[in-house]
């Protein structure tokens, strides 16, 4: 026997039920987002490193510590995407969508890569669903995007996650807040802050507010509030967003600590959190980024978007398989195997899904495998059934069974499936 290979740390194989959850999330996203005019964009896993340095920020932990970066054969630096938005912006600019569409609504799904300590809900290869609305500065675009996200989560059966929201202001009013924050932070002993916050006081002071360390949060509990420094236009923008969410019955919490560290983020910012997979763990987050497209060499186009972590959503969806298959079919005797094979193909051609067992195991073993299969019905085609061109159908949950003509199996299973 040769060497047994193992998967790389932080990279996961995905079997049911988790793979079922991912399939369901992707299908639900396509259905819900399509109602709002979003179309699917597929971008490469690899981009030039400079794209992420510019979009995420040279001084961020992601760029400095977490990216999978390497030279190609020509010495060009490439990076496995650590997030999706930069690639979407690059594709939007390169394709010239700004000249073809007043507003572009794009969504993506797929894997991202960050070299960090693997933890529950976040591996080194992780997956996201992203939505980006480009071209509209309206607060209605912000509100509609948030409403769409919350309806997507509800369509998955998740009622518990809660929405946190804040306004970051704009380039006109945020400098006043930044000055007030720096004045406040200058009165705090740097050595009392965590290592990251002590560094951020100079490089990125807004991120100090976002720190999760209890000591840092206590030291900054009386810090200036962003909303109190918003200019009249930003206040009006944010109030419109809040009014739209209230009109649609979306509950929310104003979170004055919710910030973004880069200058092109502005006005509305939000997160959706859940307490079921850790203390207030974020499962989605987003906001407005009116300067991002221009910062990447494109036109001055406003934008708003969000990212949703699929691994964390899968944890909320639980361990149960999401969809039962229709049938599990076996022929315990050789006499029925040809008919069982033909019947399985007919059922699948009719739109029913299921498994045909070819093995020569005992009847007891075959029934045990049927019980573990996740199917609604077990179909048994033994010697007696083969002679009579019939099939025995057993409902695996209720235990009821009856023998019917094979010619009626499609109608029977379809009717019973609809009744369930």
Percentage of the chain exceeding pLDDT 90: 60
Cα–Cα distance measured from residue 207 to residue 356, given in angstroms and rounded to the nearest whole number: 56
Answer yes or no: same fold for 18-173+230-317 and 325-419: no
Q: What is the pLDDT of residue 120?
A: 74
Q: Is the pLDDT of residue 251 over 60?
A: yes
Cα–Cα distance measured from residue 265 to residue 13, given in angstroms and rounded to the nearest whole number: 35
Q: What is the pLDDT of residue 192?
A: 78
Give the mean pLDDT of the chain: 89
Q: Which long-range contacts (CB under 8 A, 24 or more apart) does 365-370 make?
A: 366/330, 366/332, 369/328, 369/330, 370/328, 370/330, 370/396
Confirm or reject CATH 3.40.50.970 for domain 18-173+230-317, answering yes or no.
no
Q: What is the pLDDT of residue 197?
A: 80
Confidence band of 323 (pLDDT split at 50, 70, 90): low
DSSP state of 406: G
The residue with greater pLDDT, 22 or 224, is 22
- Per residue in 361-412, pLDDT tens? 888 999 999 988 889 999 999 999 999 999 999 999 888 999 999 999 999 9
Confidence band of 419 (pLDDT split at 50, 70, 90): low
Cα–Cα distance measured from residue 244 to residue 263, given in angstroms and rounded to the nearest whole number: 26
Confidence band of 77 (pLDDT split at 50, 70, 90): very high
Q: Is the pLDDT of residue 63 over 70?
A: yes
Q: What is the pLDDT of residue 278?
A: 64
- Per residue in 229-247, pLDDT tens? 899 999 999 999 999 999 9
- Place domain 325-419 in its CATH homologous superfamily: Anticodon-binding domain (3.40.50.800)
Q: What is the pLDDT of residue 279?
A: 57
In degrees and rounded to multiples of 5, residue 193 shows phi and psi of: -85, 160
Beta strand ranges found along 28-187 (DSSP E)? 39-40, 46-48, 68-71, 77-80, 104-113, 125-134, 162-167
Q: Is the pLDDT of residue 267 over 90?
A: yes
Question: What is the reported pTM?
Answer: 0.84
Q: What is the pLDDT of residue 204?
A: 78
**Mean pLDDT, residues 219-226:** 84
The answer to whether 5 and 133 are in contact (CB under 8 A) is no
Confidence band of 213 (pLDDT split at 50, 70, 90): confident
**Mean pLDDT, residues 288-302:** 92
- Per residue in 78-122, pLDDT tens? 999 999 999 999 999 999 998 999 999 999 999 999 998 887 777
Q: What is the pLDDT of residue 418?
A: 67
| Domain positions in the chain | 18-173+230-317, 325-419
């Amino acid at each position: 026997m040769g060497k047994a290979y193992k998967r790389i740390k932080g990279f996961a194989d995905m079997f049911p039920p988790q793979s079922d959850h991912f399939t369901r999330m992707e299908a639900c996203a396509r259905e819900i987002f399509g109602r709002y005019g979003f179309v699917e964009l597929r971008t490469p896993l690899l981009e030039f490193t400079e794209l992420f340095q510019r979009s995420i920020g040279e001084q961020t932990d992601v760029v400095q510590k977490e990216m999978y970066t390497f030279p190609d054969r020509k010495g060009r630096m490439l990076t496995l995407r650590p997030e999706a938005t930069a690639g979407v912006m690059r594709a939007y600019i390169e394709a010239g969508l700004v000249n073809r569409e007043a507003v572009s609504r794009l969504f993506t799904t797929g894997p991202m890569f960050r070299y960090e300590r693997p933890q529950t809900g976040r591996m080194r290869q992780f997956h996201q669903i992203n939505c980006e609305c480009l071209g509209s500065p309206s607060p209605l675009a912000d509100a509609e995007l948030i409403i769409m996200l919350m309806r997507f989560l509800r369509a998955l059966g998740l009622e518990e996650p809660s929405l946190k929201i804040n306004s970051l202001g704009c380039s006109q009013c945020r400098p006043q807040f930044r000055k007030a924050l720096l004045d406040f932070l200058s009165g705090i002993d740097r050595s009392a802050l965590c290592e990251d916050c002590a560094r951020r006081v100079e490089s990125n002071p807004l991120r100090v507010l976002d720190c999760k360390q209890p000591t840092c949060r206590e030291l900054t509990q009386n810090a200036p509030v962003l909303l109190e420094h918003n200019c009249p236009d930003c206040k009006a923008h944010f109030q419109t967003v809040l009014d739209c969410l209230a009109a649609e019955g979306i509950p929310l919490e104003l979170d004055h600590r919710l910030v973004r560290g880069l200058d092109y983020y502005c006005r509305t910012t939000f997160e959706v959190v859940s307490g079921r997979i850790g203390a207030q763990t974020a499962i989605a987050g987003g906001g407005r980024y009116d300067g991002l497209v221009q910062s990447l060499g494109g036109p001055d186009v406003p934008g708003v978007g969000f990212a949703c972590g699929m691994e964390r959503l899968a944890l909320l969806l639980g361990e149960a398989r999401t969809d039962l298959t229709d049938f599990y079919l076996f022929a315990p005797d050789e006499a029925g195997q040809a008919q069982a094979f033909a019947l399985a193909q007919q059922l699948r051609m009719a739109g029913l899904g299921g498994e045909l067992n070819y093995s020569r195991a005992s009847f007891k073993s075959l029934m045990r495998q049927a019980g573990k299969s996740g199917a609604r019905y077990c179909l048994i085609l033994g010697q007696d059934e083969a002679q009579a061109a019939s099939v025995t159908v057993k409902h695996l949950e209720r235990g009821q069974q009856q023998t019917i003509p094979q010619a009626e199996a499609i109608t029977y299973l379809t009717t019973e499936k609809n009744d369930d």
